[in-house]
Homo-oligomer: A and B are copies of this chain.
Amino acid sequence: MAENEIYRASTYAPVNIAVIKYWGKRDSKLNLPSNASLSVTLSQDDLRTHTTASCSKEVPEDSLTLNNASQDISGARTQACLRELRALRQEMEDKDPSLPKLAAMKLKIVSENNFPTAAGLASSAAGFAALVRAIANLYQLSVSPTDLSRIARQGSGSACRSVLGGYVAWQKGEKPDGSDSVAYEVSPASHWPDMRAIILVASAEKKDVSSTAGMQQTVASSALFQHRADEVVPKRMKAMEKAIHNRDFESFAVLTMKDSNNFHACCLDTQPPIFYMNDTSKAAIRMCEAINSTQPDEKPICAYTFDAGPNAVVYYLAEHEDLVAGTFKAIVGDKTGWEGNRGQNIKVRSETLEGTQAAADLLKSGVSRVILTSVGDGPRKTEEHLC
């Protein structure tokens, strides 16, 4: 082994968009949530963070670069992740003295997102999942995704759900040290592979109120939030897991829409009130309602959800692609995002849905691009290194 050998490992990690929302911490140091949550991991073909972790004796200090910009790595969250991963590596090295002494080396971490950062597209989830997965690969740790989720959670709560693919739950956990607040697979992507999503990007600006600040304001001031955390979410988690197991889109859709609205209701009930949705977001809701209302018995074929920002994520099944994505293509087909094969193959829905003119006008002026994606797998190892 050469004296100045450089060790490196790279991974892609996916974005996830929750259908039962995480909002509020019961412990902000450990990122322990007030309630469980559940998300769909989105395909890394469309949205991903690519991260290389490297170390050598020559690396002078820990560093992190994101999209070519140097990032502050001194924050307690990032430090907690590095500390835990190094401790696991140290254990391995203590047991097997023949291993190279990586735990003592400084880390150089380089990341790239293929989507706008901090626009409500869950970039911190993919980012921390990629960081933790890349270092775990570098250190050749034999950790389960659940072990890894416990570490990623300390970087960014929702990151713990991005270490797994498919349909992923993050259980609240009961222990004060957070050791049972981990992610688990509800179903793999292969169980229900025809889940699709269209993201209507309504803003690529940084949000007014960060999730971290916003959720703490909600916990401190909302008169409704504790009821959501204690009573509303636990029932919905069970119902959502069942819907996924049964591939029951109708239940999945109703729960998804209700929980998005319930979360934003708690934001509005915060003092001062937090508004992540804007008039464009509401237009997306109205359009989804119009799409669903054309179905027999108004059985939903699409479900909107909004994170801490105005972008709409609309879930639907592949069989309804023309009915759902085709409706949006008729309205915002001139925006970026329809260029690929999949976008080209979507048939524009020519029929105008009743009473949607005002919503269509708002979408035309408020949506800047669309992203077509689908349920996807967990982090993927790659030999393409960024440093």
Query: Which A residues are within 8 Å of any B CB, using their own CB?
Result: 221, 223-224, 227-228, 231-232, 254, 257-258, 261-262, 264-266, 268-273, 275, 278-279, 282, 285, 289
19 sample A-B contacts, Cβ–Cβ < 8 Å, listed by A number: A223-B258, A224-B227, A224-B232, A224-B265, A227-B227, A227-B231, A254-B271, A258-B271, A261-B268, A261-B271, A262-B269, A264-B268, A265-B265, A265-B266, A268-B268, A272-B285, A272-B289, A273-B285, A279-B279
Least CB distance from A302 to B in Å reads 13
Question: When chains A and B are docked, how far (Å) is the Cα of A268 from the Cα of B273?
Answer: 13
B257 touches A261 (CB 8 A): no
Question: When chains A and B are docked, how far (Å) is the Cα of A228 from the Cα of B266?
Answer: 12
Question: When chains A and B are docked, how far (Å) is the Cα of A264 from the Cα of B257?
Answer: 17
Question: When chains A and B are docked, how far (Å) is the Cα of A223 from the Cα of B263?
Answer: 11
Report B-chain residues with C-beta under 8 Å of the C-beta of A224: 224, 227-228, 232, 262, 265-266
Question: When chains A and B are docked, how far (Å) is the Cα of A270 from the Cα of B289?
Answer: 13
Report B-chain residues with C-beta under 8 Å of the C-beta of A254: 271
Least CB distance from A270 to B in Å reads 8
Least CB distance from A54 to B in Å reads 42
Chain B, Cβ-Cβ closest to A268 = B265
Question: When chains A and B are docked, how far (Å) is the Cα of A282 from the Cα of B221?
Answer: 19
Besides A261-B270, A265-B266, 12 more A-B contacts (Cβ < 8 Å) are: A223-B231, A223-B232, A224-B224, A224-B262, A224-B265, A227-B231, A254-B271, A265-B265, A265-B268, A268-B268, A275-B282, A279-B279
Chain B, Cβ-Cβ closest to A267 = B265
Report B-chain residues with C-beta under 8 Å of the C-beta of A285: 272-273
Least CB distance from A284 to B in Å reads 12
- Residue in contact with A265 in the complex, picked from B232, B258, B269, CB distance below 8 Å: B269
Report B-chain residues with C-beta under 8 Å of the C-beta of A271: 254, 257-258, 261
Report B-chain residues with C-beta under 8 Å of the C-beta of A264: 268
Question: When chains A and B are docked, how far (Å) is the Cα of A264 from the Cα of B222?
Answer: 13
Question: When chains A and B are docked, how far (Å) is the Cα of A258 from the Cα of B268?
Answer: 9
By Cβ-Cβ distance, the 8 closest A-B pairs, closest first, are A265-B265, A265-B269, A227-B227, A265-B268, A223-B232, A224-B224, A261-B273, A279-B279
Least CB distance from A215 to B in Å reads 15
Question: Which of A224, A275, A278, A282 has the largest number of chain B CB atoms within 10 A?
Answer: A224
Report B-chain residues with C-beta under 8 Å of the C-beta of A278: 279
Report B-chain residues with C-beta under 8 Å of the C-beta of A223: 227-228, 231-232, 258, 262
Question: When chains A and B are docked, how far (Å) is the Cα of A339 from the Cα of B273?
Answer: 33
Chain B, Cβ-Cβ closest to A208 = B286
Least CB distance from A282 to B in Å reads 5
Report B-chain residues with C-beta under 8 Å of the C-beta of A289: 272
Report B-chain residues with C-beta under 8 Å of the C-beta of A270: 261
Question: When chains A and B are docked, how far (Å) is the Cα of A268 from the Cα of B268?
Answer: 9
Report B-chain residues with C-beta under 8 Å of the C-beta of A227: 223-224, 227, 231
Chain B, Cβ-Cβ closest to A259 = B223
Chain B, Cβ-Cβ closest to A270 = B261
Question: Which of A271, A272, A289 has the largest number of chain B CB atoms within 10 A?
Answer: A272
B279 touches A269 (CB 8 A): no
Question: When chains A and B are docked, how far (Å) is the Cα of A221 from the Cα of B254?
Answer: 11
Least CB distance from A238 to B in Å reads 14
Least CB distance from A384 to B in Å reads 42
Question: When chains A and B are docked, how far (Å) is the Cα of A228 from the Cα of B226?
Answer: 12
Least CB distance from A289 to B in Å reads 5
Report B-chain residues with C-beta under 8 Å of the C-beta of A273: 261, 285
Report B-chain residues with C-beta under 8 Å of the C-beta of A282: 275
